[in-house]
Every structure is written in C-alpha cells, then in structure tokens.
Amino acid sequence: MKENVQLDGVDRRIVRELQRDASLSHAALAERVGASAASVWRRVRNLEKLGVLGKAVRLADPQFLDRSVNVLCQVRMTRQTMSARAEFEEFIQSREEIVECYAMSGEWDYLLRIAVRDVADYDRFVMRGVLAHPSVANAASNFALRQVKYTTEIPV
C-alpha cells in the first residue's frame, strides 16, 4: 500500500493538468496552476519521486491500430495458491492483447480487458491462450458494443 501523501492545492492542480495533457511545458503548466516555472518543476519532480505521477505516455486510438474490439473476460482459477496466481499473472503480463487486468473479489478471480481486431481474433486468443492456461478453470466473455465513457484521469 502506498503511503498517504499530503497534496496541497497547487500539487492537485498540477496533477489534474498533467492528467489532461502530459506534454505541457513547465512554463505552460505554471501559468495554468498559478505558480512559477521553477516551483512547478520542483513539485513535478517531487510528485514523480513520491509515485503520485507515473511515466508520461501518449494515448493511441485503438481504431487506427486495428484493435477496436473490447472484450471483458472474467476468469476463474482452478486453484488459489500463490504459485498458481503468480504463474497466471506472469502469463497476463506477457500478452499484449490484455490491456488491463484486475484481481477480483467475489465469484470471479480476475477481470481482463482485451483489445483485439475482431471476434475471430478473440476466439483464437481465448481458446489458445486463456483457456489453455493450466491455472484457468473457465472464463466468461462480454463484448463491448460501444464506449460510453473512457478516461485515464483520476479525480483529484
């Protein structure tokens, strides 16, 4: 668990602005948050050091990359041992189609968001990958019809 970090108003504004546009220069960011560029630079470095801010990335449009089919796949494990989970999570990390994975409470052990080209692509992936894994008992899939909301911004 991460330590509880206390952020002041300027830190929060910095985080909010960088979540919207990580390409902002320190000068532009300073203007938006009402602080000096030097202060913003120090604060950004500190927020990175604390782990509040992670790496800066550019978001790609899945439609242009032929990965516009989103599948939510629930997975139930055959056994709940630490080694079985570690083995499955290593498999998860190795598959580029899996863009998100959550260990879950409740009826299912994992929830995966998988980005594929089409239904046939998903069928190959789930049959030869997920269901073929020795730690997987079964899986249930739901295809997203359309995206109603998507954001990478965490409320600050």
For the stretch 36-73, pLDDT in tens is 999 999 999 999 999 999 999 999 999 999 999 999 99
138 vs 10: CA distance, rounded Å: 48
Q: What is the pTM of this model?
A: 0.88
Q: What is the pLDDT of residue 51?
A: 95
Whether residue 92 is predicted with pLDDT greater than 80 in this model: the reply is: yes
pLDDT at position 1 is: 54
Band the pLDDT of 28: cuts 50, 70, 90: very high
| Residue 40 near residue 5 (C-beta atoms within 8 A) | no
Give the pLDDT of residue 76. Answer: 98
- CATH fold of 9-50 reads Arc Repressor Mutant, subunit A (1.10.10)
Q: Please say whether the structural domain 62-143 has been given the CATH code 3.40.50.300.
A: no
Per CATH, 9-50 and 62-143 having the same topology is answered no
DSSP string, 4-73: -----HHHHHHHHHHHH-TT--HHHHHHHHTS-HHHHHHHHHHHHHHTSS--------GGGGT--EEEEE
pLDDT at 4: 84
Q: Is 98 exposed, middle or buried (0-12, 13-18, 19+ CB in 10 A)?
A: buried
Per-residue pLDDT band for 97 (boundaries 50, 70, 90) equals very high
Q: What is the mean pLDDT of residues 100-124?
A: 97
Percentage, residues of the chain above pLDDT 70 = 99
Q: In whole numbers, what is the pLDDT of the chain averaged over residues?
A: 96
> Domain residue spans in the chain?
9-50, 62-143
**What value does the mean pLDDT take over residues 22-46?**
97
